[in-house]
A and B are shown apart, each in its own frame.
Chain A
Amino acid sequence: MIIPADELQLATERLSASRTGFASRPTLPDPTCERLGAIGGFGLLIEDHCVRLSVYLFKEWGQGQHQADALAASMATSEQESIVAVNGSLLFLGTAPRGDDTAHFALNDLCSAFAGQE
């Protein structure tokens, strides 16, 4: 069993520059943790590719699934391309400018890194 605090650390490691090749700087998650009912989280900006990541930690394993569908629906009409994914107690939201191939590929690689290699 993986406990939630470990999962946040796990996500940080999986999205680190050493693992993904994408240099990033920390930022606040957007939307806020409070708004999604998360108990923690972090944000990352990958400035080279205009990609923004928000990772949220929920109290229960899989709890983020409830938020994932709503987030995906709300982002569908956005000018930003977005990916939403759930991994255990974590929820991943990545956004990038729509139509920008480089940003799109970066976003895909980061989401794959968050999901874990198979």
Chain B
Amino acid sequence: VGLLRQSAPSPELVVRRDDLDDFVADLKRISGLTTLSVLLPTWEREERLEVVKHIGIERFQELVFALGAPLVGALKEDLVKGVTFAQLAELMGQKGGTVDQAFDVGNRWKVPLADVLGGVIQVFAVDLDKLKPVIEKASPSDREKASKDTLLLAKAKSKLSVDTYLGLLPALGVYEGPSSGKLAEGDPGSTHKKGAEADQLIRYHLQKYVADAVRAGRKVEGEVSVVGDTDFQMAFDRQWVDTGLFAKNTVAKKTCNAFVDVNLSKRHIWVHRDLGNAGTVIHEGMHKYADPTLRNEQMSLVTTHGGISQLDEGITELFTRKVTSVLKIARGNYANPFEMADLLEKLVGDAVVAKAYFDGNFDALKMAYEKARPSKKWNVVALALEQKDWPVAKGCLK
């Protein structure tokens, strides 16, 4: 304090010696204004102060760091009036700013994720590769708020490509609760599990099977969306109708409760908010932990049934019920495939089935089967399963 008193006071300096906090704040203010005068030497002092008045010193500094002096200079007339992030993004779009710079400003200004996404989506042509890192960096609560922001989601639907929009939903973890308060199957109050909860349950109850899958980074969180009619239909059309597996105008919610994008590059999970039961996300999530070897090989035998392998679904349901039975969630889904998978497990053991399903060691499962049933070939039971010839399959497995 004594040293400062002896120096020539800056015009901006107001030292309140009786209040250390105020004094430190004043120091910061002087330091900030000095930095701004260095960063923007061609600006008039009054211009800098006017912007400071509207957006604050720190935000102003961060803006210059993020955008550079030339772009900030181009925005000067608007900055002196004060801008929100959305307005700033719009101006950046007009003045040659980039989406990365916009995200940088959002990060430096600590703008809520929903506002950042809303501002950027409104102005820039963005794909999921640009959006996902920002979403993943956000806090879970910030992400959840964005996932419930209906205005943001409506804007995203109207501005983004179908693929980017449908990628945004699981990235945000969009989760709509049942519209009537309970799911179609289940007790009052039953709801779908969220992605993170499904991960916890699978990893806890199946820990002896999924260690390698977890190490490989497989998870449900960020991959599942629980959505209403419109988004469910949109995702269904992309996976099943556009690929020719179902006829045009097929109504998604009349066809299934949930599905995985089985042959798209990103295998996202889609669950209808009202349909299915509290184990549905666990079943669909189990697919995310599975190695694709078994499914792909069995799929080569499939000629009907909408592109689904019965053995894959049966084993998926087998492991699903190891979780849901503990949780007292009743499931009758995939009853026959489940019964066959159950017989297979009794024949070769759970470890062999788990290694084939989660780790892709399918050949070991086939060998174990043929060892247990020396007079039978794996190909026969594999085909019977995919043809839904349950009596033959049971004869091979029992």
CB distance from B12 to the nearest CB of A (A): 60
The reply to whether A118 and B184 contact each other, CB–CB distance below 8 Å, is no
Residue of B nearest to A118 (CB): B258
CB distance from A5 to the nearest CB of B (A): 13
Q: Mark B62-92, 1 if CB is under 8 A from A, else 0.
A: 0000000000000000000000000000000
Residue of A nearest to B279 (CB): A118
The reply to whether A112 and B254 contact each other, CB–CB distance below 8 Å, is no
Q: Which residues of B contact A117 (CB under 8 A)?
A: 255-257, 259, 306, 308
The reply to whether B335 and A102 contact each other, CB–CB distance below 8 Å, is no
Given contacts A1-B274, A62-B182, contact A118 B334 (CB under 8 A): yes
- Among B42-50, B94-102, B291-299, B388-396, which stretch is in contact with chain A? B388-396
Q: Mark B264-277, 1 if CB is under 8 A from A, else 0.
A: 00000000001110
Q: Which residues of A contact B256 (CB under 8 A)?
A: 116-118
The reply to whether A115 and B284 contact each other, CB–CB distance below 8 Å, is no
CB distance from A94 to the nearest CB of B (A): 10
The reply to whether A118 and B336 contact each other, CB–CB distance below 8 Å, is no
Q: Which residues of A contact B179 (CB under 8 A)?
A: 1
CB distance from B250 to the nearest CB of A (A): 11
Given contacts A14-B254, A105-B390, A117-B256, contact A112 B184 (CB under 8 A): no
Q: Which residues of A contact B306 (CB under 8 A)?
A: 117
The reply to whether A116 and B339 contact each other, CB–CB distance below 8 Å, is no
Residue of B nearest to A10 (CB): B254
Taken together as a complex, chains A and B put the C-alpha atoms of A15 and B51 apart, in Å, by 68
Which size class do B's interface residues fall under? 20 to 34
Given contacts A108-B335, A112-B334, contact A1 B180 (CB under 8 A): yes
Q: Which residues of A contact B193 (CB under 8 A)?
A: none
CB distance from A2 to the nearest CB of B (A): 6
Q: Which residues of B contact A87 (CB under 8 A)?
A: 184-185
Determine if A67 is an interface residue (Cβ-Cβ < 8 Å): no
Determine if A42 is an interface residue (Cβ-Cβ < 8 Å): no
Taken together as a complex, chains A and B put the C-alpha atoms of A111 and B334 apart, in Å, by 9
Q: Which residues of B contact A48 (CB under 8 A)?
A: none
The reply to whether A112 and B332 contact each other, CB–CB distance below 8 Å, is yes
Which size class do A's interface residues fall under? 20 to 34
Determine if B280 is an interface residue (Cβ-Cβ < 8 Å): yes
Q: Which residues of B contact A118 (CB under 8 A)?
A: 256-259, 276, 280, 283-284, 333-334
Q: Which residues of B contact A101 (CB under 8 A)?
A: 390-391, 394
The reply to whether B333 and A65 contact each other, CB–CB distance below 8 Å, is no
Taken together as a complex, chains A and B put the C-alpha atoms of A10 and B283 apart, in Å, by 23
B336 interface neighbour in A62, A86, A112, Cβ under 8 Å:
A112
Taken together as a complex, chains A and B put the C-alpha atoms of A14 and B283 apart, in Å, by 21
Taken together as a complex, chains A and B put the C-alpha atoms of A85 and B331 apart, in Å, by 9
Determine if A88 is an interface residue (Cβ-Cβ < 8 Å): yes
Give residues of chain A (1-50) contacting chain B, Cβ–Cβ below 8 Å: 1-2, 10, 13-14
CB distance from B88 to the nearest CB of A (A): 40
> Can you identify 18 A-B contacts, CB atoms within 8 angstroms?
A14-B254, A61-B182, A61-B184, A62-B184, A83-B332, A85-B332, A108-B336, A108-B339, A108-B390, A109-B388, A112-B332, A112-B333, A112-B334, A112-B335, A115-B185, A115-B257, A116-B184, A118-B283
Q: Which 7 A-B pairs have CB atoms at the shortest separation, nearest pair first? A: A108-B335, A88-B184, A105-B390, A117-B256, A116-B257, A1-B179, A61-B180
Q: Which residues of A contact B (CB under 8 A)?
A: 1-2, 10, 13-14, 61-62, 65, 83, 85-88, 101-102, 105, 108-109, 111-112, 115-118
Knowing that A117-B256, A118-B258 are A-B contacts, what are 11 other residue pairs whose CB atoms are under 8 Å apart, sorted by A's residue number? Answer: A1-B180, A13-B254, A61-B180, A62-B182, A85-B332, A87-B185, A108-B336, A109-B335, A112-B336, A116-B275, A118-B257
Q: Which residues of B contact A (CB under 8 A)?
A: 179-180, 182, 184-188, 253-259, 274-276, 280, 283-284, 306, 308, 332-336, 339, 388, 390-391, 394
